[in-house]
């Protein structure tokens, strides 16, 4: 039987029109601005679920029963601590290290202290997913304490991921409102189809490498300002503008110079990002409660200008635009914003690694060669 001829290469730079995988975790309708996790709309989950329950949903494709959720939370909390030798590695990092560089290094370090690092069975990968979910917040908090010359705060196994992160970060018990605010942000950022960092993780694990390598790949990919790094740049922009009276000139100036306004636009959403919609309302509440309403008002004005100037191109606020004001109002340092994104998205990344291996095929696209042919080799003496 003659082998079937390979289908003609389909050129799709940026892969915007390419379906590279099937997933049962999140559904996105970019035209209508819809996001669902396992069929449940993101607004319902943000209002009624918790981050731990949302991760259980993503990994098991259903909501947990009460006893299952309790057991899942207990398993996560039992894995909060990191090996004592990781403490020494954190302390060895220069205090000036940008947090996402530190996180990329520290996530990778976890593999050295996990006997199952190279085990690729579904069971081993689920255990590693849980360890990564539980330990990522610890790594971020430890590095931030290190860079500020403060002692590490041990994780508290009696509380959930969001509250425990704020405790380890600040060494003070957060209010219930602050813990819940962060918990909601973690729900909103947990998964989002084949975004760049998730796709990168899938490419890595599709080679039958390991989950720690895949999550390290994902952290490095999320760092970019066209992806997860946008939220920090949004806040830097708001602080640079400084006052609502300067917003119009600042934004119009950027647009006239064809510069990107961070926190806007999306490869898939050509309507309002539903996460931005929820965060907008939420940001107003948190900003009001914390005396940062001016930042929210400036954000609203930026949105009005962008709506007038570029919404015809399908450019709307994305998840990063209002998460910036929310995180700032929670007292989080600007350069930790993308780490917060990562500690949530590690749930989606790990879920996609497991999903990729359920029906794996090496991911290896083609490239158009556009260089010369028939070039003669010239000995170095003749060059
Ligand atoms: C995330 O994929 C995901 O799911 C990602 C994410 C997730 O949950 O994982 O949702 C998280 O990454 C959100 C995006 C965060 N990034 C930013 O906010 C950075 C600013 N946004 C842009 O870089 C841009 O919108 C992208 C990268 C997000 C999407 O770009 P595309 O799909 O490649 O679109 P494009 O660059 O081709 O832009 C089309 C047009 C261009 O104008 P023209 O050349 O046609 O005249 O829209 C313009 C762009 O210049 N444009 C913008 C703009 N974004 C696009 N103009 C001004 N400001 C912007 N932010």
Alpha helix ranges (H) inside the chain:
42-48, 51-60, 66-77, 84-92, 99-110, 122-147, 161-170, 176-189, 196-205, 211-222, 230-241, 247-256, 274-289, 293-310, 319-329, 337-358
Structure tokens at 142: 């430890």
Summarised one tens digit per residue, pLDDT across range 346-380 is 999 999 999 999 999 999 999 999 999 999 999 99
45 alpha carbon – ligand 1 mean position (Å): 26
Helix H or strand E encompassing 35: strand 34-37
Which atom of ligand 1 sits closest to the CA of residue 267? 32
Candidate list 144, 183, 320, 352, residue with the active-site label: 320
Q: Does 59 lie in the same domain as 99?
A: yes
C-alpha–C-alpha distance, residues 102 and 144, integer Å: 10
What does the block give as tokens for 209? 């490498």
Q: Whose CA is nearest to atom 12 of ligand 1?
A: 227
**175 and 274, same domain (yes or no):** no
Domain harbouring 321, CATH code: 1.10.230.10
Whole-angstrom Cα distance, residue 270 to residue 16? Answer: 13
Residue closest by Cα to atom 39 of ligand 1? 313
User: Does 152 lie in the same domain as 135?
Assistant: yes
How does the average pLDDT of the chain come out, rounded?
Answer: 96
Which residues does 66 contact at the CB level (< 8 Å), separation at least 6?
none
Same domain for 70 and 199, yes or no, is yes
For residue 198, the ligand 1 atom closest to its alpha carbon is 9
**Backbone phi, psi, residue 247, to 5°:** -60, -50
Scanning 49-118, the segments in alpha helix (DSSP H) are 51-60, 66-77, 84-92, 99-110
Q: Which of 266, 289, 335, 373 is catalytic?
A: 266
Any ligand 1 atom below 6 A from CB of 265:
yes
State yes or no: is 144 an active-site residue: no
In-domain check, residue 7: no
For residue 60, the tally of other CB atoms under 10 A from its CB is 14
Question: Does one domain contain both 170 and 70?
Answer: yes
Regarding whether 107 and 80 lie in a shared domain, the answer is: yes
Q: 227 CA distance to ligand 1 centroid (A)?
A: 9
- Which atom of ligand 1 is least distant from the CA of 258? 50
Pocket lining: 315 vs ligand 1, CB cutoff 6 Å: yes
Q: Is the CB of 263 under 6 A from ligand 1?
A: yes
Closest to 271 in 3D by CA, of 29, 3, 26, 12: 29
Residue 87, domain member (yes or no): yes
Residue at 377 is within a domain: no
User: Is the domain of 210 the same as that of 241?
Assistant: no
Atom of ligand 1 nearest to the CA of 321: 18
Tell whether ligand 1 has an atom less than 6 A from the beta carbon of residue 342.
no
Is the pLDDT score of 7 beyond 90? no
Is 382 within a domain? no
pLDDT tens, position by position, 274-328:
999 999 999 999 999 999 999 999 999 999 999 999 999 999 999 999 999 999 9
Ligand 1 close to Cβ of residue 260 (< 6 A): yes
Same domain, 208 and 253: no
Domain for residue 14, yes or no? no
Three-state DSSP class for 29? Answer: strand
User: Are 133 and 218 members of one domain?
Assistant: yes
**Domain total for the chain?**
2
Ligand 1 centroid to 264 CA: how many Å?
Answer: 6
Residue at 372 is within a domain: no
Range of the domain at 192: 26-225+334-358
Confidence band, pLDDT 50/70/90 cuts, at residue 4 = low
Whether residues 289 and 345 fall in one domain: no
- Respond yes or no: is residue 320 known to be catalytic: yes
Segment holding 40, helix H or strand E: strand 40-41
**pLDDT tens by residue, 93-141:** 999 999 999 999 999 999 999 999 999 999 999 999 999 999 999 999 9
Domain co-membership, 290 together with 352: no
Cα–Cα distance, 233 to 321 (Å, whole number): 9
Angle between helices 230-241 and 247-256 (to 10 degrees): 130
Note whether residue 155 is domain-resident: yes
> Is the CB of residue 305 less than 8 Å from the CB of residue 253?
no
Residue 162, ligand 1, Cβ within 6 A: no
List, for residues 263-276, the tens digit of each pLDDT value: 999 999 999 999 99
């Amino acid at each position: 039987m003659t082998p079937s001829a390979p289908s003609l290469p389909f050129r799709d730079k940026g892969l915007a029109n390419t379906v590279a995988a099937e997933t049962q975790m999140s559904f996105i309708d970019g035209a209508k601005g819809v996001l669902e996790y396992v069929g449940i709309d993101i607004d319902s989950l943000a209002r009624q679920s918790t981050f731990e329950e949302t991760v259980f949903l993503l990994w098991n494709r259903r909501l947990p029963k009460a006893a299952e959720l309790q057991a899942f939370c207990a398993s996560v909390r039992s894995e909060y601590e990191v090996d004592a030798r990781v403490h020494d590695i954190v302390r060895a990092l220069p205090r000036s290290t940008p947090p996402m560089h530190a996180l990329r290094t520290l996530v990778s370090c976890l593999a050295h202290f996990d006997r199952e690092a190279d085990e690729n069975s579904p069971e081993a990968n689920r255990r590693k997913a849980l360890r990564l979910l539980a330990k990522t917040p610890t790594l971020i908090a430890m590095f931030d304490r290190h860079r500020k010359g403060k002692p590490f705060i041990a994780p508290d196994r009696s509380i959930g991921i969001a509250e425990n992160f704020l405790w380890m970060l600040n060494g003070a018990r957060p209010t219930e409102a602050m813990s819940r605010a962060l918990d909601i942000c973690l729900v909103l950022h947990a998964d989002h189809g084949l975004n760049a960092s998730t796709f990168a993780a899938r490419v890595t694990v599709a080679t039958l490498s390991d989950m720690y390598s895949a999550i390290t790949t994902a952290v490095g990919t999320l760092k970019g300002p066209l992806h997860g790094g946008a939220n920090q740049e949004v806040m830097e922009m708001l602080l640079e503008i400084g006052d609502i009276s300067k917003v119009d000139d600042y934004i119009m100036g950027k647009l006239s110079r064809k510069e990107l306004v961070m926190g806007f636009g999306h490869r898939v959403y050509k309507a309002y990002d539903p996460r931005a919609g929820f965060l907008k309302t939420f940001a107003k509440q948190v900003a009001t409660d914390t005396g940062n309403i001016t930042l929210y008002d400036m954000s609203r004005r930026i949105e009005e200008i962008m709506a007038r100037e570029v919404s015809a191109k399908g450019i709307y606020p994305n998840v990063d635009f209002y998460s910036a004001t929310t995180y700032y109002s929670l007292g989080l340092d600007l350069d930790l914003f993308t780490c917060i994104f990562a500690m949530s998205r590690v749930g989606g990344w790990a879920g996609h690694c497991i999903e990729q291996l359920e029906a794996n095929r090496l991911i290896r696209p083609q490239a158009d060669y556009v260089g010369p042919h028939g070039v003669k080799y010239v000995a170095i003496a003749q060059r």
